[in-house]
């Protein structure tokens, strides 16, 4: 039996879903944005199977860091 509360045509679970919908959308958008940022970062740095040190050097080079030589020693 549908809950005839505020809207008159939604069940209780549908009402809860409607209340939580903006929050769920914000969480999904945040996760999507973070995932996109992480993927873009990995694409810039390059994951080509290298070891951690070479990836760190690549990251420093992209950021214009001058510690690349220090890490390679």
Position 45 pLDDT exceeds 60: yes
- What residues have CB less than 8 Å from 67, skipping those under 6 apart? 60
Higher pLDDT, 54 or 35: 35
Range of the domain at 28: 12-72
In terms of pLDDT, which residue wins out, 46 or 44? 44
Q: How confident is the model at residue 24 (pLDDT cuts 50, 70, 90)?
A: confident
Average pLDDT in the 7-11 region? 61
**Concatenated DSSP letters of 5-31:** SSSSS--HHHHHHHHHHHHHHHHHHHH
Name the pTM for this structure. 0.36
Give the Å distances, CA to CA, from 62 to 7, 36, 56.
Answer: 55, 18, 10
Report if residue 27 sits inside a domain: yes
Q: Is residue 20 part of a domain?
A: yes
Domain count, the chain: 1
**Residue 45 forms part of a structural domain:** yes
Is the pLDDT higher at 59 or at 26?
A: 26
């Amino acid at each position: 039996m549908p809950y005839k509360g505020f809207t008159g045509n939604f069940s209780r679970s549908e009402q809860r879903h409607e209340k939580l919908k903006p929050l769920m959308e914000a969480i999904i958008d945040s996760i999507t944005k973070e995932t996109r940022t992480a993927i873009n970062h990995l694409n810039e740095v390059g994951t080509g199977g290298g070891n951690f040190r070479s990836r760190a050097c690549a990251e420093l080079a992209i950021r214009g860091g001058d510690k690349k030589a220090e890490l390679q020693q």
